[in-house]
Structure 1
Amino acid sequence: MKNMIKVVIACLLIFNLAACSNTNNTITSPDGKIKLSFHLVQGAPTYQVTYNNDTLVNTSHLGFEFKEQGSMKDQFELIAATVNSADETWQQPWGENKTIRDQYHQIKIELKEAGETGRLLNIFFRAYNDGAAFRYEFPEQKNLKEFVIQNEMTEFNITNNPTTWWIDANYDTYEKLYKSTPMSEAKWVATPVTMVTKNNTHISIHEAALTDYSGMTLKQNESGAYEADLTPWSNGDKVRTKAPMVTPWRTIQIEDSAAELVESNLIVNLNEPCKIEDVSWIEPMKYIGIWWGMHIGTETWYTGPRHGATTEKALADIDFAAANNIEGFVVEGWNHGWAKWGAEGAFDHVTPASDFDLEKVAAYAKEKGVMLIGHHETGGDIPSYEKYIEDAFKMCQRLGMHAVKTGYAGGIFPRGEHHHGQFMVQHYRRVVELAAKYQIMLDVHEPIKPTGIRRTWPNMMTREGVRGMEWNGWSDGNPPSHTVTIPFTRGLAGPTDYTPGTFDILYANAKNRVKWNDQDKGTSRVHTTLAKQIANFVILYSPLQMASDIPTNYEGHPAFQFFRDFNADSDESKVLNGEIGKYITVARRSGEEWFLGSATNEEARTLDVKLSFLEAGKNYKAEIYRDGDDADYLTNPQSYKIETKEVNAETTLKLVLAPGGGQAIRFVKL
């Protein structure tokens, strides 16, 4: 799978211990733009980050407080500093880009506490062309074995109060609308958190390789710097661990533009290489499902006269998928337990509901060449799910179901644990590894945020962790600015199962809707044009990409041809333009075809887009799905036009986007 070219240059710098407090250690990115400096200030470890000689992160402290073993935050001596560089190219089985370059300069700082304890702490710093990262290592040592981290004292002292796009920190959900304010008003935030400085430098703080640790939020201290705030266990512990161990990487993505920020590979590069030897069964795909009807209140998850997951309906939807070049089909509400929602031990993940013949549906899907995607809603009941999970995965493998959508809606059992704490991080990892054993791809809802695990376990395909399409079904919904904010915020963490593609925007075909959610005020609808719904298939990257609407709303609809032709297996991606919360244009290549998606916020916009990404010297047919001349997400959202043009790499297209609108284009080589 890997074609690697690697150059490693290492030198060991041993310093006089008496002079360590005055020693500065600096690395730069390969292109020289980013400078990452480590300093001991009166025995306390600190770092700084500059970009093009501007200080982005001023002196920021590092260290830990332990539950019963004091703190490790000062009184350090520098033992050694090891500098090395690496440059390798690796291949992933799927992704925005199949080929990734991993190039950085690194310094390993080895510290020892003064005095009798003499505890050891190492810090790795890396400088990439697209950002900086660091992590802690507790090496094996006699004076620190098992311990509980009560506070990670990592600071991000961002300078000059940049404009910040953020959501409030929450230990259990990321499903919120983004705010744009000065950083000084963003007091406690989830990551990724994205900023733009007065010099137009774009920054995003996040984490990578979160494997056995608590998820990090950021909270401002009295000086206005962000400090790591870790999601606690039910008793208040933050991280339970033992040496030797390493923490997740703390990441700072840095680019000149919003478009370049989206193209960063920093997060995946900081994860371990793939641990699955045979990845041939891991394949991106498009899918539909029995799902949207429940959200808009025309069907139910539980059995009864309005039950969505019936055998008859599933067979009909499989026929639709097979006839429309759609590779997958998910069924929510197929199993026992939905009538006991919220109760402990409610869900059974192996027994079908009384009106759903799982064996028949799975066999029919296989006959039709459609992947039946399993659905495991846990209701947050972890002990119950872990009791069923291996048998459920075995059953999926036997039935040819190589993908499962999991869900963790509601509070976590045992009560007091959080979705984003170490308890759940450990659970999510067990599920991913067990799924790989049974050749199952995962789509996780109510997840821990992505931190690049997809490199190590590429069966971790996509996850929610965002305020997605479903909120349009039973609340005030998502404003047009939301989906042109996601790529620059949550999308920087990894693939996003937003589930775009609703065509019945005003629910005109949703007869006999029944209110089931307290947030439904009777005004629910989708706040985009139809053309933007199509564009979001390209913009909101997911290797498992869903067309969210009820299949009958697609039947005979000319605009659905784009999804029929769309290929979720991307080879190469280009972000052609973008401003956070305003607009974005993305092009993705699948084989010899390119797909383009462009979208705007509430404002109408005209964008000139150069097609230089097309193969030079070749002509292409551009199949254009655009907003109609009178389209407007508020007054006329379903107005659209389909046109064709002959174009080439020299062509500049003028994209006219309606308020809340978009445009999608397929480029086919002539």
Structure 2
Amino acid sequence: MRYFILAVVSFITLAAKAQNTATGAPLVIQSPGKNLTLKFYQKQSADNKRTMYYQVTYQDKQVIGESVLDIQLDNQLSEKAMALKIDQHKNWCENLVIKDIKTTTHDTSWIPVNGERSQIRDHYNAADITLVKDDNPMYVMQVQVRAYDEGVAIRYYFPENEKGTYYNVTAENTGFSFPAGTQAWFANWAQAPYYKLPLANWPGESERPLTLELPNGLFVALGEAQLVDYARTKFKLSDDKPNTLVTSMFGGAQIVSPVGTPWRVIMVATTPGDLITHNYIMLNLNEPSKTTNTDWIKPGKIMRVMTQTTADAKANIDFAVKHKLQYILFDWKWYGPAFSFNSDATKVAIPDFDLPGIIQYGKDKGIGIWLYVNQQALLVQSDSLFAVYNKWRVKGVKFGFVQVGSHRWTTWVEKAIQQAAASHIMVNIHDDWRLTGEQRTWPNLMTAEGVRGNEEMPDATHNTILPFTRYIAGPADYTICYFDKRIKTTHAHQLALAAIYYSPLQTLYWYDKPSAEHNEPELEFWDNIPTSWDETRVIQGKPGEYITTARRKGTEWFVGTITNNKARTLNVPLTFLAPGKKYRVKIYSDDASVATATHVRVSSSVVSSKTVLNISLQPSGGEAMHIEEIK
């Protein structure tokens, strides 16, 4: 990645404002476009204990009412071991006083290696609020705030401690107080179904991102960005305050300064589609790429080899060539029992499987090979495994059944991604793990599961929720099927998913074999679709009902529309096309009268930016379009 255009950074030290904020006058920070406003302040109780609060509004509409900012630490073991003053405060933040406030304005743009857009603007106003314990000045903490037009982000940051003490984070209690009547799309874990619930009587904690609909017409997504050295955090209902959510850590985190917690992200939009097209805020809250040479990182489409033999592998490679896929995957057990520490991921353990010969056959045909490796083998062998795979000319590794949640496993995954990058190996992480924007820092991280996809065969309604929830976090490996008879949607619905669901490594034909194909003409849509984009637009959509997404690569557009379990008629305006030009659109739609097993009709017409297409969708149906400029 490289920086270009304009970089503006201004620094203002506000000692007087720091003093006023400590006594109740809020610090006010606005987004560059001034739609979003965040207020930060402290309140002091009768016994001189202080509490930090914040509020967020959008165009004077309440987003977050008065909510607590709080993090709890127990450093007594480190303090005793290093003969330092013991902090006796029951609430670690209760005696923090504001020492300094520094505001900045930042405006740069950068080019992602892969993405939903060809360049990303990183534009925000920020405040670093420095606080110190009034009885122990070795403890300094910053509340760092960024206000983007797309949302606001907050984190706790600990500058380098001059005494060298460690930080044992026991809890983080960041609050989010919403207007009464707010509804949330709740999912208890990363591969769970979604339920639209009020902020009351939840059956457990909610995954992130968490998308909410406010009674004032706004849509909000709560997210977590830059989770690299901390424990995963979900959202739970407050025990004592209605309509309020609180962060809930998987467990403690033992961190060494200088270090920051992950960012707590509050995206705000007037339409749910804007949450999708603004999800680059998650990337902007991560560090720039640490990989200087990225020529080896190639997006593409991949299919799994269902029967792992040499003959079947070559048949899949031939299928990949025919249908313009870039990769094939050998899934688990190719090197032995996946959950056994005795299995060696550098040795083939199944019969009739000439891996070197398969890799060479794929290379000759222009098809790369990915290998599945379970966490047991990764844990034991990752220090040397990726270098071996590089020598084998393997292109990528799918991490299987990765442990998630704890501080330990968070840092382990981060290290494994870095080790893979050092050996020019791309990565796909399964099963419950979700991205928090770290693919900006390590662009070899192509995708991750953390989604209820076609392995579970969800219904169409679930599929219409995912773009507004899971995909805000970044790419997901939904593992799109096509021929499998367990699919609960139409085939045009499945085709359209490749345009709606973003993943630079897009798995197609999950559970399918090359023999299932009978030259269905509509497969040309998947043949031609790329997996990394120059522009993305959500034309229309409502979570749980329908969505139309248009994506551009060069001068070509790929459009996907899906509905839930109900039939629906929609108008699709083509205003995203360049004015004054003519285009040819190929439309792939469900039609029971078409005499193929998949019943997908392929039609074409000439269109322009003034065209409005009227489409009728079957229950659980969809429609895909490929639009090319007529030269």
TM-score by length of 1: 0.87
Aligned to 2:26: 24
Sort the Cα spacing of 1:620 and 1:558 in 2 relative to 1 into closer, same or farther, 3 A: same
How is 1:111-510 mapped onto 2 (pairs within 5 angstroms)? 111-116=131-136, 119-142=139-162, 145-168=165-188, 170=189, 174-186=190-202, 188-221=205-238, 222-224=240-242, 225-232=244-251, 238-264=252-278, 265-291=280-306, 308-333=307-332, 335-338=334-337, 341-342=338-339, 344-352=340-348, 353-378=350-375, 381=376, 384-408=377-401, 412=403, 419-472=404-457, 478-504=458-484, 506=485
| Structure 1 unaligned residues grouped into runs of 5+ | 233-237, 292-307, 413-418, 473-477, 507-524
The answer to whether the 8 Å contact 2:17/2:101 transfers is no
Q: Confirm or deny that 1:592 pairs with 2:594.
A: no
**For residue 261 of structure 1, what is the amino acid of its counterpart?**
L
**For residue 430 of structure 1, what is the amino acid of its counterpart?**
K
* 1:554-577, Cα deviation, whole Å (9 max, x unpaired): 341222111111111311111111
The secondary structure found in structure 2 opposite 1:387 is: helix
Quick check: 397-406 or 432-441, which moved more?
A: 397-406
Residue 349 of structure 1, CA deviation: 1.0
The secondary structure found in structure 1 opposite 2:480 is: coil
**For residue 548 of structure 2, what is the amino acid of its counterpart?**
T
Residue 399 of structure 1, CA deviation: 2.5
d(CA) in 1 for partners of 2:435, 2:382:
22
d(CA) in 2 for partners of 1:654, 1:262:
24
The answer to whether the 8 Å contact 1:625/1:643 transfers is yes
Aligned to 1:531: 492
The secondary structure found in structure 1 opposite 2:450 is: coil
| Structure 2 unaligned residues grouped into runs of 5+ | 45-49, 77-88
The answer to whether the 8 Å contact 2:191/2:432 transfers is no
Percent identity for Structure 1 against Structure 2: 30
The one of 39, 47, 52 equivalent to 2:54 is 47
* 1:445-483, Cα deviation, whole Å (9 max, x unpaired): 1153111011111111100001111112xxxxx121111
- Number of aligned residue pairs: give it: 602
Residue 141 of structure 1, CA deviation: 2.7
d(CA) in 2 for partners of 1:454, 1:312:
35
Residue 350 of structure 1, CA deviation: 0.9
d(CA) in 2 for partners of 1:619, 1:273:
39
Sort the Cα spacing of 1:369 and 1:430 in 2 relative to 1 into closer, same or farther, 3 A: same
Sort the Cα spacing of 1:131 and 1:309 in 2 relative to 1 into closer, same or farther, 3 A: same
Quick check: 221-230 or 191-200, which moved more?
A: 221-230
d(CA) in 1 for partners of 2:507, 2:236:
35
* 1:349-402, Cα deviation, whole Å (9 max, x unpaired): 111123211101001000111011122123xx3xx4232224331232122222
Aligned to 2:533: 570
CA RMSD in angstroms, aligned pairs only: 1.9
d(CA) in 2 for partners of 1:351, 1:102:
45
The one of 614, 621, 625 equivalent to 1:661 is 621
Residue 258 of structure 1, CA deviation: 0.7
**For residue 492 of structure 2, what is the amino acid of its counterpart?**
A
**For residue 449 of structure 1, what is the amino acid of its counterpart?**
R
* 1:499-530, Cα deviation, whole Å (9 max, x unpaired): 113223x2xxxxxxxxxxxxxxxxxx211000
Quick check: 367-376 or 113-122, which moved more?
A: 113-122
* 1:429-457, Cα deviation, whole Å (9 max, x unpaired): 11110111111111111153111011111
* 1:56-99, Cα deviation, whole Å (9 max, x unpaired): 11111122222344542222211111111111111111100121
**For residue 627 of structure 1, what is the amino acid of its counterpart?**
D
TM-score by length of 2: 0.92
d(CA) in 1 for partners of 2:499, 2:383:
34
How is 1:514-553 mapped onto 2 (pairs within 5 angstroms)? 525-547=486-508, 548=510, 549-553=512-516
The answer to whether the 8 Å contact 2:330/2:371 transfers is yes
**For residue 434 of structure 1, what is the amino acid of its counterpart?**
Q
Quick check: 190-199 or 553-562, which moved more?
A: 553-562
The secondary structure found in structure 1 opposite 2:386 is: helix
d(CA) in 1 for partners of 2:591, 2:389:
44
Q: Confirm or deny that 1:6 pairs with 2:18.
A: no
How is 1:609-648 mapped onto 2 (pairs within 5 angstroms)? 609-628=572-591, 638-648=598-608
**For residue 247 of structure 2, what is the amino acid of its counterpart?**
A
**For residue 359 of structure 1, what is the amino acid of its counterpart?**
P
Quick check: 533-542 or 607-616, which moved more?
A: 607-616
**For residue 180 of structure 1, what is the amino acid of its counterpart?**
K
**For residue 390 of structure 2, what is the amino acid of its counterpart?**
Q
Sort the Cα spacing of 1:377 and 1:284 in 2 relative to 1 into closer, same or farther, 3 A: same
The answer to whether the 8 Å contact 2:332/2:373 transfers is no
How is 1:20-99 mapped onto 2 (pairs within 5 angstroms)? 20-42=22-44, 43-69=50-76, 70=89, 71-99=91-119
**For residue 61 of structure 1, what is the amino acid of its counterpart?**
V
**For residue 175 of structure 1, what is the amino acid of its counterpart?**
Q
d(CA) in 2 for partners of 1:68, 1:541:
43
